[in-house]
Amino acid sequence: MPTTRRQFLSLAGSVTAAGAIPIVTLRPLNATPAMLNTAIRNVVGEAAIRTGKVKIDIPPLVENGNTVPMTISVASPMTADDYVKSIHVFNEKNPQPNIGNFYFNPSSGRAQVSTRIRLADTQKVVAIARLSDDSFWQVTADVVVTLAACTEEVN
């Protein structure tokens, strides 16, 4: 029998708790599963994440988790000395916490990206923006999914 997600998550959680107690106590990011936290810390490092600036546009209730439209934008003048370097999107309950990393530069003009994502369950989506001064800003959105992605069997 393959490892279930629950087993994997609890294993990942115990590893994180044992290996990274200072990080976890430093700044808990709400009550999110360990894999999400680890994935975020892989990008952000020890830096503090502030809330704001980032806007996520995603339907609060989706019928089909296989394709969920999502737009993320960051309030930024996008000038040579004040622009958005990247946007990182994470989820809470898919088999893998990453959704996508999007990289910008001043010639982007506008820090905004749209795509379509998969959501395996009703969960939280987190978007984190890295600005040119290396500060991090985040926003979270809760999405209710009635038909999950990724779980059906292939015929």
Nearest distance from C-beta of residue 63 to other proteins, angstroms: 14
Cα dist. 55→14, 24, 85, 126, 141 in Å?
A: 32, 26, 16, 10, 9
Pick the closer one to other proteins by CB: 2 or 60: 2
Nearest distance from C-beta of residue 31 to other proteins, angstroms: 21
152 binds other proteins (CB under 8 A): yes
Site for other proteins in 82-121 (CB under 8 A): 91, 94-96, 98-105, 107-110, 112-119
Pick the closer one to other proteins by CB: 68 or 128: 68
The neighbour count for residue 144, using CB atoms within 10 Å, is 13
Residue 121 structure tokens: 């369950």
Total binding residues toward other proteins, as defined by CB under 8 A: 36
Site for other proteins in 27-86 (CB under 8 A): 66-68, 71
Residue 151 structure tokens: 């779980």
Pick the closer one to other proteins by CB: 26 or 96: 96
Q: How far apart are CA 61 and CA 50, in angstroms?
A: 26
Nearest distance from C-beta of residue 136 to other proteins, angstroms: 17
Task: Name 3's Cβ contacts closer than 8 Å, sequence gap at least 6.
Answer: none
8 binds other proteins (CB under 8 A): no
155 binds other proteins (CB under 8 A): yes
The answer to whether 30 and 113 are in contact (CB under 8 A) is: no
Cα dist. 15→24, 59, 88, 94 in Å?
A: 12, 34, 24, 19
State the residues that interact with other proteins by CB under 8 A.
Answer: 2, 66-68, 71, 91, 94-96, 98-105, 107-110, 112-119, 149-155
